[in-house]
Each structure stands twice: as C-alpha cells, then as structure tokens.
Amino acid sequence: MRQGIFISFEGIDGAGKSTHIDALAAALRAAGRTVVLTREPGGTPLAEKLRALALNDPMDPLTEALVMFAARRDHLLQVIEPALARGDVVLCDRFTDATFAYQGGGRGFDLQVLGELERWVQTVPAVPGGVRQPDLTIWFDLAPEVAARRLAGARVPDKFESQPAEFFARVAAGYARRCAEQPARFARIDADRPRDEVWRAVEAAVKSRGWIA
C-alpha cells in the first residue's frame, strides 16, 4: 500500500490557496492517487460548528486558540489520520501553522502555550514519539495590501478578514517565523505573481518530493 501524504496550504485570504489546492488535487489524481480535500478550522461536522464560532463570535485569544485546537483534534482523528492510514493524499487548507500565525502572530498570544497545545492535540499513535505535522507545507506569501485588493468586494468579511493591515503584517511575520523554524517541510511561494507562475512553483515543490512526475 502506498504511504499517505499530508500537504497543507497556508497563507492569508486572497493569497490564492484555493485555486492551487484544486489544481494540485487534479494533478495527484491524474497520477493515480486518492485525494482528500479538507480545511481548517473545519473538516468534520463538529469542527465546522466550531469554525463558525471561531470566525464570527468575539472571544479572548486563549478561548480562540482552544476552539481552533478542539476543532483540529476532531478533524485529525476523524479525517486526516484515517486518510493517511489508507494511503491517501490529504490536502488541507490551513493547519497548525495558521494558529501560530493568526493567534500567535496576529493576536500576540503566547507561543509557548500554543506549542503545548500543539503537542497535546497532534500526538497520535501513528507518529511514535512525535506530533503529526504535514509532510509538506506550501506557504503562499503575499503582502497584506495585495491580498486586500484581491478580496475587495468579494464577500462579507469574517472577523479575521476585517482586521486592519497591521494585524496581517503580524500574521505574515508569524508564518515567516514558522518557516524559519521548520524549513525542511516548508515551500515558500511568492504569491504576487501571475497564476501560471505560482502554479509552476507549487508543482515544482511537489515534484521535488517525488509525488508527481
């Protein structure tokens, strides 16, 4: 049986994640892989309920972090781990790096506490002595002001999307910090380029791992 593959897509809204997740799913299916597309927060009935709370209801940073990790635990146990055990490819729109970027960077919440929550929530039997992390994290790095222009008028913003530019500057710094700490699993993509160029960079990152030809 083929080994499961876990790929997360990270970046602020407007960076182009969704377009390229769908394109990568198509490429992997063409290569004969079974693909599970999912998202965070969300991915299960319970986690989707928690997503609605996290994205819309006011709460303090600790409560917000706990809600995100509660949704993640259910998602991990109900969707991600079973898919990886079957040998599927999991493509997830955001994972824990987003919590470190948004709650840690954007909100300024204690990174050590987030690290403890990460260990508690992502410790699973399939990863002896460690925590579940993506095999590859594709980070769409885009200046907040460019993302804001792309999103202007697209939809009613949730409580995160309506934050000021300074918040997203801190989020971007949070992503950069995670990338610097764990460079082996990150592929930074310059998302301020034409769509076809961004796709070629995504494709190259996946090809470098031998997952598509």
Binding site for ATP: residue ranges? 11-18
Residues of each annotated binding site: 11-18
Residues 49 and 167: their CA atoms lie apart, in Å, by 25
Is-contact 39 168, C-beta < 8 A? no
Is-contact 9 140, C-beta < 8 A? yes
Residues 107 and 99: their CA atoms lie apart, in Å, by 10
Residues 95 and 72: their CA atoms lie apart, in Å, by 8
Neighbours of 70 (CB within 10 A): 18
